[in-house]
Amino acid sequence: MENFDSSNVSAFKDVWVFCEQRDGKLMPTDFELISEARRLADELGVKLVGLLLGDNVDGLAKELGGYGADKVIVVDDPALKVYTTDAYAKAICDVIADKKPEIFLIGATNIGRDLGPRCAARLHTGLCADCTHLDIDMDIYKDFLTNNSVLKPERIAGIGTAKVLGKDHDVSKDLKMTRPAFGGNLMASIICPRFRPSMATVRPGVLKKAPFDQAKADAVEVEKVTPDIKPEDLKTEVIDVVKAAKKLVDLVGADYVVSVGRGIAADVDTGIKLAEDLADALGGGVVGGSRAAIDSGWLSADHQVGQTGKTVHPKVYVALGISGAIQHKAGMQDSECIIAINKNEAAPIFEIADYGITGDLFKVTPLLTQAIRDYKASK
């Protein structure tokens, strides 16, 4: 990395995705990132490259091609079998310094949140953390702002340059990275105009996974790289990996989500029990919650849906006593079917609901649960 210059922006090309694997299995976030990065690479007219680290993991490369990668660089070494910040950061930064991608995306998993800042600091470039939306093409970006911001049309239409060190900078080829700010009360779009690669960690569940294409999987190019990792590069040694038995709710992977909000305050225990019963009746669903429900201590943080929680895309999303603040809607508005139950007929949640029921959730929810069970029993 001695001659690496992150400020020589014109020397960088291609879109890269860090493809996380654990115990020889790719993470769901990899497929979401590869699918979205395919769009970004097409807009720039460059290649999409997956970066896969591990020990004897080259057999996973084809699957990444099936979701859109043109090429997969496999960095293979026994030192990379178990994740450590030292080994992974050294291997990744060496490959990036050699091949110079212009964009590098990482999933905002526990590993990604640890790895991203270390690599960005070592590469002397910027990192936008916990992104929920990515754009390059200006027309697509302006459409996103039109549909998801309160900016006036004339302000959006005029976007095209940004002040960088006092000079106008054309942002048309920069990666526009959007993330929640100030506790989710507003969204900020960030660019990295002066250095490369543009780096972002992306929240799991916010991007759509493309259909798997076997022809693309068969055609993907695989390049194996042996990293130069010396004992002195490693400050830590993993003696053993002990996995905790703690069970967390899988909101992102659930087909049915029933979420509760401030509306259950009159009887919290009953409200949560009603949500659990309805989720079970729908078919192995899970219970989520608005930020108000989490902040009140009614549910643990892994149940939170919204900008500062999980983003979900279930087949059916049921909102019980949730008013529908913009921060919550951002985390569930792309669900296939949304059902809302709320006493306030003017609640914002009804604006995006496919089916809205104005009524007391403590009375309506048991009726809905029983109706679903009766229907299934009759089939």
What CATH number has the domain bearing residue 184?
3.40.50.620
Q: Is 21 within 8 Å of 12 (Cβ atoms)?
A: no
The one-character DSSP state at 264 is G
What token pair was written down for 326?
């913009």
Q: b vs e for 232-260, b when ≥16 Cβ sit within 10 Å of the residue's Cβ?
A: eeeeeeeeeeeeeeeeebebbebebbbbb
* pLDDT for 245: 58
**Domain presence at residue 242:** no
**Domain presence at residue 150:** no
* pLDDT for 192: 93
* pLDDT for 71: 96
- Put residue 68 in one of left, alpha, beta given phi > 0 → left and psi -120 to 50 → alpha: left
CATH of the domain at 305: 3.40.50.1220
What token pair was written down for 1?
């990395």
Q: 207 and 93 in one domain?
A: yes
**Domain presence at residue 251:** no
**Cα separation of 335 and 315, whole Å?**
6
Q: 344 and 229 in one domain?
A: no
Q: Is 91 within 8 Å of 226 (Cβ atoms)?
A: no
Residues of the chain scoring pLDDT < 70: 1-2, 182-185, 243-248
Q: 334 and 190 in one domain?
A: no
Q: Is 294 within 8 Å of 309 (Cβ atoms)?
A: yes
Q: 260 and 229 in one domain?
A: no
- Which of 198, 233, 268 is at the close of a domain? 233
* pLDDT for 99: 95
**Domain presence at residue 164:** no
Give the domain extent around 297.
256-378
- Put residue 35 in one of left, alpha, beta given phi > 0 → left and psi -120 to 50 → alpha: alpha
Q: 202 and 320 in one domain?
A: no
* pLDDT for 91: 94
**Cα separation of 112 and 249, whole Å?**
20
CB atoms under 10 Å from CB of 97, counted, come to: 16
**Domain presence at residue 320:** yes
How open is the CA angle 105-111-116, to the nearest 5 degrees?
A: 40
Residue written as tokens 């697509």? 140
* pLDDT for 7: 93
* pLDDT for 158: 86
Q: 191 and 91 in one domain?
A: yes
What token pair was written down for 89?
């950061």
Q: 73 and 18 in one domain?
A: yes
242: CB partners within 8 A, 6+ apart? none
Q: 35 and 83 in one domain?
A: yes
* pLDDT for 142: 92
58: CB partners within 8 A, 6+ apart? 52, 74, 76, 222, 224
**Cα separation of 63 and 96, whole Å?**
22
Q: 264 and 307 in one domain?
A: yes
**This prediction's pTM:** 0.76
Q: Is 60 within 8 Å of 34 (Cβ atoms)?
A: no
The total of structural domains in the chain comes to 2
Closest C-alpha among 82, 70, 81 to residue 37: 70
**Cα separation of 16 and 202, whole Å?**
13
CA dist list (Å): 81 to 55, 75, 85, 104, 168: 5, 11, 12, 22, 46
Residue written as tokens 């609640």? 347
